[in-house]
Every structure is written in structure tokens, then in C-alpha cells.
Amino acid sequence: MAQIADPRVAAVLRSMHDITIMESQEPRSRTEAMLALGCAQFGLPIGILAQVEDESYEVVEVHSPPEVELARGDSFALGATYCQKTIAADGPVGFEHAAQTEWNLHPAYVNFRLEAYFGIAIRVFGQTWGTLNFSSLSPRDVNFGDVDREIIRLMAECIGSTLERDTLEREVGNSGNGVMRRITAGIAHDMNDMLTAILGHATLAGMDRGLSADTRHNLERILHSAQRAGALCGRLGLHSGHRGAAIEPLDLSAVTRDTLHLRQVTAHGITQVHTDLAEQLPMVEADYQRLQQALMAVLECVRGKEDGIATLHVSTRAVEVYGADLGSSLQRDEPPHSPGPYLVCRIRRTPAARPSTASAALHRPIDRHARELAAARRLLRPSGGWIRLADPPEAMVEVLLPLMPPPVAEA
């Protein structure tokens, strides 16, 4: 199998990604773009996505020159197409010059004189659905190689996944079955948890200032795809009657402890972590994964990337926020916050005991507009949480969350 590191495979993956995130385009346009990509990659002018049922072969989408008389909805007997062999094969099927091989006896050659062909079966939910195939009336000068086979496999997987997604959306949208809706809600929730972790780790990886431009570009693509997948999970949740965000009562100290363990903040110049996590605090209402990712982003911001030895102080407590405390904390894109009781997680960085060994950068204040803080603000917003910096700024950030409202007493 060809390695993904191959420049040609990497370029095709980027193009496939661009096609799959064409939000303004109809599914048909995305399929046609995928066929055009394959035609260009393989040097074959005719690209077809076909559905096969029993012995019937129907053209679902086609990309071809004007002189080729082929259109969506055209149907043929499966035995009259090269895909008769492809549909039963475990991998790609291809040849460069049918006239010089036993393929010259096949009905597709006798009837259409297709000299070059390259195809693969499309599978949806583990079942054979149809084929993706490319062909030409002229021979192909170069033999199909491992990279070609890897590319068409990737394209088939992408198209198969898209067909699965479209099928699920239709079934969920049309279903009135309560069991189906509950199953869908569970899938959407579990997928959202995984995507939140992907988004968080990719965001943190992107904060590394030492990344190359190509690596940063690829991380941005991962983030964009995960955000798109997250939006799909949200739509599935809505179809199922399940609210998108998993808001639940949480223990802020417990979430902070979990986050410190997950992040392993003792690396990269942090030699000590002092914690003062209050016990038996009131609960807050938030999405666990989003809160954890917000705390991870703040930890990354406070920790910094500079060389030097430092200590990290992390504490949680209950505070009362007054109106005068709110003004300096607001960013231009934030809604106003309400005064009242909050829980706060304070994260502060100080130089180690021997200042001579520490870089002056360790005393640098936190940038109010840092990317990490912007990410944390977005993650906290659904639960009413916000960020507060010291004034004047220093190497400290506070994450504030409103207390969970008390239960309403029954009349």
C-alpha cells in the first residue's frame, strides 16, 4: 500500500477535503467534483459513479467530455460493463490497453471500445452498493501503480462514507420511531464526545509556535473537518429530539483534577504544580468535555512556551462577583455577564525558587487576545462561563462559572 506521505497522495487528500467541505454545494456537485479529481489524477476523461442492483447498472453521476453520450440515469446490463468484474473484486481493477489483453473479448470493449479502465467497488454499511470507475477511448501510456490504487481506494471510502451519512440523515429525518430516535441520540452524543477531544487536542497542537506552515495548515483542515462533523452530530441530535450540548451538573474541582492529569502540565519547563482544589463546592452546569478543553487551553496559555523554570499554581473556590468586577473582563464578542455567585478556577504561573535560572519571559503578562483564551471563551460560552485576567495583567487567568441554580421548591 502506498504511504500517505507520498506527495501525490497527500495532494489528493487535501483536494478531497476541500471537496467534502463544500458547504454551499449540493451533494451532486460534490460527487461531480470528486469524479473530476479522479479523471485528472488518472488521466482518464470519463468518470462514473454507478449503483448496481442485481444485474442492473445505473449511472448516478458522470463527468465526461461533451462528445461522450452518457448521462445521469442511463442504465445498462451489468454484464455489458467492465464493472461486472470490479463489483466482485476485493480491490481496484484496471488495465491500460484493452486491445492488447483478453479484455478485448469483453462486451464493454466490443460495444464501446473503451481501451483504458480503472474501477473499484463502493461499499455502504458493509454491503456492495456500486462502483467508482474511470475510463478512456484511448490507451493509457503509463501502467497503474500502487499510488493510483491507494488514491482510488481513498476516493471510494470517502464516497461510501458520504452515502452512509446521507442515508442516515434521511432515515432519521423520516423516522417517527422512538427507539430509532434514542439510538440516534446516543450515537450523536458519543460521536460528539470523541470530536470534542479531537478538536481540543488539535487546537492545543496548533498552539505550538514551532510548527511548520504545512503542519499548521493540515491541523487547520483537521479542525475544520471535526467542526463539520460536530455540526452533523448536532443535526442528528436535533432530529432525535436530543439537545446538542451535554449540559450536566459538574464538580469543578474534580474536572480540574482530571484536566491536570490529562494535560501532564509538569512538562515543558514546569517543574512543580501546586494545587489547592476546594472540596464540597456547589455544582456548576456545563458540558464536561467543553469545560475540560477550555481549562486545557487556559493551562497552555498560562504555562507559555518560553524557556525557563516555573511553578504552576491551580486553585478552585467560590467567589462573589460584583458589577464593578465585570467591565475589564469583557471582550468585544462576549455577551454581558451577570454579577452574583460563581465558582472560579485560578491558574497562575510564577518563577521557581531560584530566579537567576528563570527567563525574564516568565514574568511576562498574559495577552488578553491570545488564541488560547479566545478558544476557551468560545468553549465556556454555552454554560455562561467566562475568563477574567488580573488588572494590571500578570501570568494568571481565572475561569468563572455560575453556580447551578437551586431546585425550585414545589408549591
Tens of pLDDT along the chain (411 residues) come to 444 446 777 777 777 766 765 544 566 677 888 899 999 999 999 999 999 998 999 999 999 998 888 999 999 999 999 999 999 998 999 999 999 999 999 999 999 999 999 999 999 888 899 999 999 999 999 999 988 998 999 899 888 888 887 777 666 555 555 555 555 655 665 666 566 667 666 666 666 667 787 787 777 777 667 666 665 665 555 555 544 456 788 899 998 988 787 655 444 445 578 899 999 899 998 888 788 878 888 887 787 654 456 788 999 999 988 765 554 444 444 545 678 899 999 998 887 655 444 444 445 667 766 777 887 888 888 888 988 887 555 678 999 999 887 665 555
Among 173, 188, 214, the domain boundary falls at 173
Query: Same domain for 125 and 214?
Result: no
- 188 residue type, one letter: A
The answer to whether position 262 is within a domain reads: yes
Query: Same domain for 76 and 123?
Result: yes
Picking from 46, 122, 62, the residue whose alpha carbon sits closest to that of residue 87 is 122
- Helix then strand then coil, in percent of the chain rounded to 5, is 45, 25, 30
d(CA 242, CA 250) in angstroms, rounded, equals 20
Query: Same domain for 234 and 256?
Result: no
Query: Same domain for 236 and 276?
Result: no
Picking from 116, 147, 150, the residue whose alpha carbon sits closest to that of residue 133 is 116
Structural domain count, the chain: 3
The answer to whether position 70 is within a domain reads: yes
pLDDT at 199: 63
CATH value at residue 375: 3.30.565.10
The answer to whether position 407 is within a domain reads: no
Pairing status of strand 116-124 against strand 56-63: unpaired
Query: Same domain for 23 and 150?
Result: yes
Q: Where are the alpha helices (DSSP H) in 1-45?
A: 7-20, 27-42
In three-state secondary structure terms, 278 is: coil
Contact 72, 63 (CB under 8 A): no
* C-alpha cell, 334: 462576549
In three-state secondary structure terms, 234 is: helix
In three-state secondary structure terms, 328 is: helix
CATH value at residue 63: 3.30.450.40
The answer to whether position 1 is within a domain reads: no
**Cβ-based burial of 9 (10 A; exposed 0-12, middle 13-18, buried ≥19):** middle
Contact 105, 98 (CB under 8 A): no
d(CA 232, CA 131) in angstroms, rounded, equals 26
**Cβ-based burial of 217 (10 A; exposed 0-12, middle 13-18, buried ≥19):** exposed
What would you measure as the largest C-alpha separation in the chain, in angstroms? Answer: 89
Peptide linkage before 392 cis (omega within 30 of 0): yes
The answer to whether position 409 is within a domain reads: no
Contact 120, 153 (CB under 8 A): yes
Q: Which residues contact 134 (CB under 8 A, 6 or more apart)?
A: 35, 38, 39, 42, 44, 46, 47, 48, 117, 118, 119
Query: Same domain for 282 and 365?
Result: yes
Phi, psi angle pair for 310, to nearest 5°: -145, 165
d(CA 18, CA 259) in angstroms, rounded, equals 34
Among 156, 173, 190, the domain boundary falls at 173
Domain span at 95 = 7-173
d(CA 321, CA 158) in angstroms, rounded, equals 51
pLDDT at 154: 86
**Terminal-to-terminal C-alpha distance of the chain:** 69
Query: Same domain for 169 and 184?
Result: no
Query: Same domain for 121 and 65?
Result: yes
pLDDT at 265: 44
DSSP annotation of 61: E
Picking from 303, 393, 294, the residue whose alpha carbon sits closest to that of residue 349 is 303
d(CA 77, CA 52) in angstroms, rounded, equals 10
- 202 residue type, one letter: A
